Structure 1
Amino acid sequence: MYRYVGLRVLQAIGVLWASFTIAFGILFILPSDPVSIAVQGNSASPVDQQAVADLQARYGLDQSLLSQYWTSLSHAVRGDFGTSISTGQPVTTAIADALPSTLQLAVGALVLAVLFGSLIAFATTYSRAQWLRTALQALPPLGVAIPTFWVGLMLLQVFSFNLHIFPAFGDKGFSSLVLPALTLAIPTGAVLAQVLASSMGTTWRQPYVETAQAKGASRFRVVTHHVVRLASIPALTIAGVLIGNLLAGAVVVETVFSRAGVGRLTQTSVMAQDIPVVLGIVVMSTLVFVLVNLIVDLLYPLIDPRIVGNTRKKKSPEPEKTAAGRTDVEAAHV
């Protein structure tokens, strides 16, 4: 067990390093200069080259690319991502200020996604009517195909501008969280419903399900006690993908609903090429991703103990040899 966890931790470190390196490289091949953007701002006047040179020296951007990479990486290992070029605020402080709002949005969306996805998958498996199963099976692909921003705009139009039930913008109170969480939950829940419904359909055809039905178990009991448990393993496998969808969708949702959060911070930082902030967000998002996958791997044995066990095959005993050096079988043929 310790060896398994150790290998997973080493893999997580490798993923973190790769994500940091790729993000660093992409930001530095962009044509514009983040310091020039910060100095000029929204002004149309020419850039003060002396101010640009001073800021480049302050942030170490006048050094070689390899030197900048090593400095950024060595500081990131210690949890220090430097200072924002745009605002002068420490990166960890900027992320910490934006994180609570995004966590509220992500948790709310995840709860709704699990609820919607599970209900659709359960209804698809439990229903006996073919037309209803067909209709339910068509919902997840539709939810995946619809763009997130379009869903958000439609919800705004109906529930905010027409019915005036929920506020259109901001993040003040629970009511302002409903529409953004619902917008983010629809594509995530659709992916979960697709995987879970397919897995439950496959599990339903297993022999032990037929045995349970033959013993007189009701259809509801068979689904809840036998099918759901094993069918949830593939759904847990894509937990990392679902978390990734939530983090990526937060950028769009927080922009559409004008919510302050990590998504908005990512958008503004990328547009300003604020390298320290973007690298900090990338590392944080990757860390969440690898931690979720590690937790999922450790949960597998609790769902199905057969996954973890002694996988060593017992070696069959070698046939005994006679005094002449032949096996019993060889001796019988002599």
Structure 2
Amino acid sequence: MLARLGSAVLVVWVVTTVVFFALRASGDPLEAILGGPGSQAGEEAVARARETYGLDAPLLWQYALLLGRTATLQLGDSYARRQPVMELIGAQLPSTLLLASLALVLAWVLALTGALIARTARGRIGRSVAALVRGAEVVATVMPQFWLGAVLILVFAANLGILPATSSGADPAGLILPVITLAVPIAGFLAQIMRDSLADADAAPFAVTARSRGASESRVLLRHTLRHASLPALALSGWAYGSLLSGAVVVETLFARPGLGRLLIDGAMQRDVPLVIGAVVVVALVYVVVMVLVDALELVVDPRLRTRRSAVATPADVAVGS
């Protein structure tokens, strides 16, 4: 837990530093404070705004103050929206988390389906189907999300008219295309890992022993090989969730869906430093929390990990044993 806490602090510091200096290098955030491009603010108003928001201080001092506010999650008000940053993020975060979570579930379903098809393929037709599934996995892995989303909109919204092209966040039907757009590339990646792991597990001694004792293939799959094969994909699910959160920026913009991704894009376009940094920090913290949950889930799925960790003796254990 201490290691995870240290990594969380490091991640937050890195993303805060990169975002702060990148936004400041792109232009003066005073433009967002004064109402955007073309504002007719006088010199007195500009000077007052600089003093109010601390923009008249040296850049490194502004950076130090920002680190202090970030450490306490007191990021102040958005430059452009004049609302507390944490309130804006809190209103949009559930929508993005729902989108990413549903996409991860769908990615797992597709990956597991593809791995099982490849495992059970028999005969010429079965091998042909398995080859098509493997090809689909490769194509899905390299498929750009913005292109896939555009194709889905063109086919199912513009031509067939059976699904909406935009997602308001409240209509379940509006979630279908964004979820598929996010899930397909991740599903292709997880399916390849799952398929290879399942093939290794089928040839492992414990699976061969179970078959020699008369266990059916379905029993071997459900009780032995599937759990073993899911571990590598499960270990990468934390990374996959982080990738889905970053992909939500593109998908939410493409489908005009409210969420943290669109909020982040708007803040970056307006050079709204507190809003962008707040959104990125929250995403980084969510990623760290998901990684901790994945670690805990791995311990549940594979009891050997618990035994391995408990078998590590501390100096006190060695002293008592001797």
TM-score scaled to structure 1, two decimals? 0.86
> C-alpha separation between the residues in 1 aligned to 2:295 and 2:35?
49
**Rounded Cα–Cα distance in structure 2 between residues aligned with 1:87 and 1:70:** 24
* Cα displacement (A) at 1:48: 4.1
Q: CA deviation at 1:304?
A: 1.6
Whether the 8 Å contact between 2:121 and 2:130 is mirrored in structure 1 is yes
The equivalent position to 1:116 in structure 2, one of 86, 104, 110, is: 110
2:200 corresponds in structure 1 to 202
Q: Which runs of 5+ in 2 are unaligned?
A: 315-322
The one of 33, 46, 54 aligned to 2:48? 54
Show the 5 A alignment for 1:52-201. 52-128=46-122, 129-171=126-168, 172-201=170-199
Residue 207 to residue 274, structure 1, CA distance change in 2 (3 Å): same
Preserved contact between residue 143 and residue 186 of structure 1 (Cα < 8 Å): yes
Partner in structure 2 of residue 276 of structure 1: 274
TM-score, normalised by the number of residues in structure 2:
0.89
* Counterpart Cα distance in 1 of 2:43 and 2:182: 43
Distance in 2 (alpha carbons) for counterparts of 1:48 and 1:182: 50
Contact 1:36 1:47 in 2 (8 A): no
CA distance in 2, matches of 1:49, 1:228: 68
Alignment of 1:247-266 (within 5 A): 247-266=245-264
- Give the % identical residues: 37
CA distance in 2, matches of 1:145, 1:312: 45
| 8 Å CA contact retained: 1:126, 1:223 | no
Mapped contact 2:249–2:264 kept (Cα < 8 A): yes
Which residue does 2:228 correspond to in 1? 230
Q: Give the structure 2 partner of residue 327 of structure 1.
A: none
The alpha carbon displacement at 1:47 in A equals 6.3
Deviations 1:199-256 (A, max 9, x none): 2122222111111222222222222221111111111211221111111111111111
Once the two structures are superposed, residues 123-147 of structure 1 have per-residue CA deviations (whole angstroms, 9 ceiling, x without a partner) of 2223233322222112222112111
Q: 1:18 to 1:170 in 2, by over 3 A?
A: same
Structure 1's unaligned 5+ residue stretches are: 314-334
Q: Give the match for residue 318 of structure 2.
A: none
Amino acid of the structure 2 residue aligned with 1:15: V
Contact 1:36 1:52 in 2 (8 A): no
Contact (CA 8 Å) 2:108, 2:190: kept in 1 or not?
A: yes
CA distance in 1, matches of 2:43, 2:191: 55
Q: Deviations over 1:314-334 (max 9, x none)?
A: xxxxxxxxxxxxxxxxxxxxx
Letter in 1 for 2:99: L
| C-alpha separation in 2, matches of 1:10 and 1:100 | 26
Aligned residues: 307
Is the Cα–Cα contact under 8 Å of residues 126 and 220 in structure 1 kept in the other structure? no
Contact 2:299 2:305 in 1 (8 A): yes
Supply the RMSD in Å over aligned alpha carbons: 2.0
1:41 maps to 2:36: yes
- CA shift, 1:15, in A, is 2.2
Deviates more, 1:90-99 or 1:51-60: 51-60
Quick one: structure 1 residues 242 and 155, their matched pair in 2 at CA, closer, same or farther if it must change by over 3 Å?
A: same
Contact 1:184 1:246 in 2 (8 A): yes
| Counterpart in the other structure of 2:317 | none
Q: Is the 8 A contact 1:125 1:197 kept in 2?
A: yes
Question: 3-state DSSP class of the match of 1:15?
Answer: helix
Are 1:28 and 2:24 an aligned pair?
A: yes
Pick closer, same or farther for the CA change 1:48–1:192 going to 2, 3 Å. Answer: farther
Contact 2:93–2:259 under 8 Å retained in 1: yes
- CA-to-aligned-CA distance 1:44-101 (integer Å, 9 cap, x gap): x766444333222221121112211121111122121111111111100111121232
Cα contact 2:238–2:287 (8 A) shared by 1: yes
Letter in 2 for 1:161: A
